Amino acid sequence: MQEPSSSLINTAAELLRNGGLVAFPTETVYGLGANASDPVAVRRIFAAKGRPADHPLIVHLHSPENLDFWAKDMTASAWRLAEHFWPGPLTLILKRRNAPLTVTGGQETVGIRIPDHPVALALLKAFDGGIAAPSANRFGRVSPTRAKHVRAELGDRVDLILEGGPCRVGVESTILSLVNDQPRLLRPGSISLSALQQVLGTEIITSASVGDIRAPGLLKSHYTPETRFEVHPIHDLKRRRDELAGSGIRTAVMFIGAEHREQPENPALTPCFMPDTPAEYARKLYAVLRLLDRAEFGVLLAESPPDTEAWQAVNDRLKRASCR
Ligand code: TXA
Ligand code: MG
């Protein structure tokens, strides 16, 4: 993989200044970026993704210096989180100051994050402004973790795709809302609830009654492959596998670890073995789902991971991907 040269980064920044769309790598997933201060450019993001206009976008920055321009009322604890976790896979929902309503989906709050990826940071520095960017996939689909995923899904709808290799984290950022009295976890990610609570020193609400917050990451069905996808505990998984393969339905099974390498001989059956640590699993998940989704299986099955905090982000994505 060749990292973009500084002249390509400058070209990308110039494209953004001229209202273009630039896809770029972050440590979580690839983003589809536009100048956050240019509502016309931002509307192009919604069009390219087929995303409803009332779903807010995250504003990406390269330093917290200009945070006060985009958001207001940053509390001491918000600053503590920012200092501790940025650059990194944490999005803070704050009260809006100058972030355009096109970006915030008409809401008085704004999502901000400083990504931890050299290409994203180089682009943000060269552009020297906020870049509004959702994940670079069609609305409701699995997020891209490689440049080729963006090319396959959005191709000619983007002016430029910057290469940055496979994303290190692999699932989208943790989203924490700080606009109410008590902080609320809106989307689990690789930064865990307890890590956030430790830095904040206060409790975070998770069972969000999110009726008033428009966040597609919170829709029950999101991040979905096109193929039917089911997640089961190991015993049910094997039963379902045998049932499907027995009736000749082409079935892929995502096991966790190599423990279940012994598989019944059946031409309809394709086992695959996912990593047994949550970070490694998360890194691979979307790429594997994409691959299996294109391979014309009748059904995709996955073994459900343990119900522990370390697996929370993976469990969340598996649940949404299997929901229809
Ligand atoms: O890791 C990530 O967060 C990636 C990379 C590219 O930064 N971005 C990403 O963006 O996942 P997107 O748009 O696919 O998901 C962002 C989520 C959406 O569910 C959106 O509704 C929510 O953040 N969000 C953004 N601004 C918000 C706000 N003001 N209030 C509530 N939710 C917000
Ligand atoms: Mg997304």
Cα 85 to ligand 1 centre (Å): 17
Tokens linked to 262 = 């012994």
As beta bridge partners, residue 95 has: 72, 109
Task: State the pLDDT confidence band at 216, using cuts at 50, 70 and 90.
Answer: very low
Sorting pLDDT into bands at 50, 70 and 90, what band is 166?
very high
**Where does 260-311 have alpha helices with state H?**
278-294
**What is the reported pLDDT for 3?**
84
CA 153 to chain centroid: 15
Distance 306 CA to ligand 2 centre (A): 25
Kindly state the percentage of the chain with pLDDT values over 90: 87
- Residue 263 is predicted with a pLDDT of 85
Cα distances (Å, whole numbers) of residue 180 to 72, 94, 177, 208, 246:
13, 9, 7, 12, 53
Q: How far is the CA of 125 from the centre of ligand 1 (A)?
A: 21
Q: Which candidate, 144, 317, 196, 276, places its Cα nearest to that of 133?
A: 144
Does the C-beta of 34 come closer than 6 Å to ligand 1?
Answer: no
Q: What is the dihedral of CA 41, 187, 149, 63, to 10 degrees?
A: 50
Instruction: Report the alpha-carbon distance of residue 304 to residue 284 in Å, rounded.
Output: 15
Domain 228-321 in this protein, CATH class: alpha beta
324: pLDDT strictly greater than 80: no
pLDDT digits (tens, 9 = 90+) for 174-203: 999 999 989 999 999 999 999 999 999 999
Sequence-ordered list of residues with C-beta below 8 angstroms from that of 184, at least 6 positions apart, any chain: 176, 177, 204, 205, 206, 208
CATH class of this structure's domain 6-200? alpha beta
Q: Is the CB of 87 under 6 A from ligand 1?
A: no
187-201 burial code (b ≥16 CB/10 A, e <16)? bbbbbbbeebeeebe
Nearest 5°: CA angle at 19, between 13 and 21?
Answer: 70
Q: Which atom of ligand 1 is nearest to the CA of 60?
A: 7
Distance 256 CA to ligand 1 centre (A): 29
CA 198, CA 192: separation in Å to the nearest integer? 10
Q: Best substitution site from 54, 90, 150, 175 to test ligand 1's pocket, by max atoms within 8 Å of Cβ? A: 175
Q: What is the mean pLDDT of the chain?
A: 93
Cβ(134)–Cβ(34) below 8 Å: no
Any idea where the domains of the chain sit in the sequence? 6-200, 228-321
| CB 134 less than 6 A from any atom of ligand 1 | yes
Per-residue pLDDT band for 221 (boundaries 50, 70, 90) equals low
pLDDT-based confidence at 210, cuts 50/70/90? Answer: very low
Pocket test for ligand 1, best of 29, 91, 97, 177 (most atoms within 8 A of CB): 91
Cβ–ligand 1 distance for 315 under 6 Å, the answer no
Ligand that lies nearest to the alpha carbon of residue 111, given by its number in the listed order? 1
Closest among 111, 112, 116 to 27, alpha carbons compared: 116
- Among 153, 122, 114, CA closest to 32: 153
Radius of gyration of the chain (CA): 20
Q: How much of the chain, in percent, has pLDDT values that exceed 70?
A: 94
pLDDT tens-digit readout, 232-276: 999 999 999 999 999 999 999 999 998 888 888 999 999 999 999
55 lines ligand 1 (CB under 6 A): yes
What pTM does this model have? Answer: 0.95
- Region 215-228: mean pLDDT is 69
Task: Report the separation in Å between the CA atom of 32 and the middle of ligand 2, taken as the mean of its atom positions.
Answer: 10
For the cut 80, the answer to whether the pLDDT of residue 163 exceeds it is yes
Is pLDDT above 60 for 217? no
Distance CA 61, CA 40 (A): 20
In sequence order, the β-bridge partners of residue 210 are none
Ligand 1 contact, 33 CB (< 6 A): no
pLDDT tens-place string over residues 4-28: 999 999 999 999 999 999 999 999 9
